[in-house]
Amino acid sequence: MAPREAPHISMETNPDLRRKNPRMKAPRELLVGWKSTGHHAVSHAETIGLGGLYLYTSQPPAKGSMIELLFDSTTGAIRARAAVRRSIPGTGMGVQFVQMGPEERGRLIRLLSKYADTKPTVKSQPGPVSARDSVVRSTGEKTVEFRFESDLTELLAVAKKGTYYQLLGVTSETPGNQIKQSFYAQVRKFHPDLHMGRKELLEPLKELMGVLAEAYKTLKDEELRTAYDKQLAASGAFNLHRGKAESQETIEDCISRAKECLRVQNFVGSISYLQKCVDMAPNEAKFHAALARSLGTLPHYQNEAINHFRKAIELDPWNETSYLQCAELYEVMQIPSLADSLYSKLLGINPEHAKARERHLKISSVSALTGQIY
| pLDDT, tens digit (0-9, with 9 covering 90-100), for 5-33 | 433 333 333 444 455 567 788 877 677 88
Q: For 305-333, write each residue's pLDDT tens digit.
A: 999 999 999 999 888 999 999 999 999 98
Kindly state whether residue 127 falls inside one of the protein's structural domains.
Answer: no
- Higher-pLDDT residue of 89 and 77 is 89
354 CB neighbour count, 10 Å cutoff: 8
Kindly state whether residue 57 falls inside one of the protein's structural domains.
Answer: yes
Instruction: Tell whether 106 and 155 lie within a shared domain.
Output: no
Instruction: Tell whether 90 and 152 lie within a shared domain.
Output: no
pLDDT at 116 (0 to 100): 60
pLDDT at 293 (0 to 100): 94
Calculated CA dihedral for residues 171, 177, 180, 184, nearest 10 degrees? -120
Kindly state whether residue 137 falls inside one of the protein's structural domains.
Answer: no
Output the CA–CA distances (angstroms, integers) from residue 277 to 196, 251, 255, 274, 304, in the order listed: 41, 6, 7, 5, 16
Q: Report the Cα 2 to chain-centroid distance in Å.
A: 52
Kindly state whether residue 340 falls inside one of the protein's structural domains.
Answer: yes
Task: With beta carbons less than 8 A apart as the criterion, state whether 363 and 374 touch.
Answer: yes
Which domain-ending residue is among 205, 235, 265?
235
pLDDT at 242 (0 to 100): 34
pLDDT at 371 (0 to 100): 55
Kindly state whether residue 172 falls inside one of the protein's structural domains.
Answer: yes
Instruction: Tell whether 295 and 221 lie within a shared domain.
Output: no
Instruction: Tell me which DSSP letter residue 51 carries.
Output: S
Instruction: Tell whether 149 and 192 lie within a shared domain.
Output: yes
CATH number for the domain that contains residue 280: 1.25.40.10
Instruction: Tell whether 151 and 204 lie within a shared domain.
Output: yes
Instruction: Tell whether 259 and 224 lie within a shared domain.
Output: no
- Higher-pLDDT residue of 324 and 279 is 324
Structural domain count of the chain: 3
pLDDT at 307 (0 to 100): 92
pLDDT at 138 (0 to 100): 45
Instruction: Tell whether 359 and 317 lie within a shared domain.
Output: yes
- Higher-pLDDT residue of 132 and 187 is 187
Report for 26-35, 198-207, 265-274, 282-291: range of highest mean pLDDT: 282-291
Provide the residue range defining the domain that includes 104: 15-114
pLDDT at 355 (0 to 100): 92
Mean pLDDT calculated for residue range 207-222: 90
Nearest to 48 by CA among 12, 78, 68: 78
